[in-house]
Amino acid sequence: MPKTESPQKFDSLSAADVADLLGVTEKTVRNWMNNNGLPFLDGKRGRALKWPDVLEWYVRYRAETRTEAPEKSRVKSGPESGPELPPENYEAALARKTRAEADLKELDLAERRGQVAGINDVRKTLSTLARAIQSKILAMPARLTTRLAGAEDRSEVEAILKAECQIVCSELASMKAAGE
């Protein structure tokens, strides 16, 4: 779901977004749209779903599948069905919906406070750190060549290498992440 979108509206969700919210696979959501009447809108960018419509349909769908097959206390397991879920009545579904909405509001608040990092930001920071580690390690031989050339015994070489490794590790530990 785009960051600019308000979590209360959920006006234009993709099948993947709905799958994440409901804890099922994207294929299951697409099957529901094609075969079970999950409401969607055809747009220029493909199919879009509105969360209030999806949630209403999902609760009704779950209630209908429970009354049609009362002998089955669990949903079939398999790649299209998602996780196994216990029987759920309207009150339980409403309570789950309320918890999910509260979780989304907490996540939004944490994001506004800067307590949540986006995946792309984390990837960028990790990539920057990996490049820094690589450059510092690859620079060690050039810096050590002259110092090691005069070393005569193994303990002196080990001491020089250990000191250089400690310097590099200390520099890396004190690096600031992008945006700090």
* Residues 67-116: tens digit of each pLDDT: 655 444 444 444 555 556 667 788 888 888 889 999 889 888 888 888 88
Question: Long-range pairs for 79-86 at CB < 8 Å and ≥24 separation?
Answer: 79/25, 79/27, 80/25, 80/27, 80/28, 80/31, 81/24, 81/28, 82/22, 82/23, 82/24, 82/25, 82/28, 83/23, 83/24
Instruction: Determine if the pTM surpasses 0.85.
Output: no
**Which 3 state secondary structure label does DSSP give 87?**
coil
162-169 average pLDDT score:
90
Average pLDDT, whole number, for the chain?
A: 80
What percent of the chain clears pLDDT 70, i.e. is strictly above it? 80
Say whether pLDDT at 123 is over 80: yes
Domain ranges for the chain: 15-112, 119-173
**Beta strands, E only, 13-110:** 41-43, 46-48
CA dihedral 149, 152, 156, 158 (to 10 degrees): 70
What is the band of 27 on the pLDDT scale with cuts at 50, 70, 90? very high
